[in-house]
Amino acid sequence: MKLVDCYPELLRDIYDKIEDLLQESQALSPDLDIAWETCEWIREHWSGRYLIRTWWGHGDAGPHDSESADLPGLAIQVDSLRTARGRELRDVIMGILFRISIGRPCDFAVAIAALVEAEWSTKKIYVPLAPEVDRAIKDHAIWQDFTGFSGIERVVAKHRICQAAIYNAFRRVQKAKKEHEEPPLPGLF
């Protein structure tokens, strides 16, 4: 189970689409988790909101100037995004890409922001509140740190929680894994 599996389905879906987009380009190292950092920013800044058409802001896409060398078939212009939120996301992704020092971050940032904008700006969707996802991520971290009952004191000290909270985290992780691996049969929930 990957850490991204703690995300709600909405963010897992966009994470997978960003991963596919970046893998098609083959210009980035596979160990760079740009999709994770992008989804984390979305989760931290856009959670607890309904993302409806008016929330995205207004803007017009200009004519496309050129085709990207890294992402063939995708026309790139610095301000080709239609909405204010799409441009905000583009700027954040460019910051992530500049921080990890890759070449031509503008093309990737625009492509990722355009993907999110096209996927979400025409629908009414709700990004779940961050505390629910934070708890799932913390539960997953506890699960990863647990090496056996003989080392439970180390986990208690590291996460500053009692043993009962650790067992509760285990139950939640095991339930999530079971639901993820074995979806219920139709009509039997």
CA separation for the pair 35, 33 (Å, rounded): 5
CA separation for the pair 38, 102 (Å, rounded): 16
Residue type, 133: V
Residue-range domain boundaries for the chain: 3-127, 130-181
pLDDT tens sequence across 51-91: 888 888 865 444 444 444 554 444 444 456 888 888 899 88
Q: Record the pTM.
A: 0.68
130-181: CATH architecture: Orthogonal Bundle (1.10)
138: Cα separation from own chain's centroid: 16
Query: Do the beta carbons of residue 15 and residue 4 sit within 8 Å?
Result: yes
pLDDT for res 27: 63
Q: What are the CA-CA distances from residue 84 to residues 54, 61, 91, 157, 160 (Å)?
A: 10, 11, 11, 45, 41
pLDDT for res 101: 61
DSSP 8-state secondary structure symbol assigned to residue 183 = P
pLDDT in 10s for each residue of the chain, 189 residues: 566 777 778 888 999 998 888 888 766 666 567 888 888 899 888 988 888 888 888 654 444 444 445 544 444 444 568 888 888 998 898 888 887 766 666 778 888 899 999 889 888 988 887 677 788 888 888 988 888 888 888 989 999 999 999 999 989 888 877 876 766 667 765
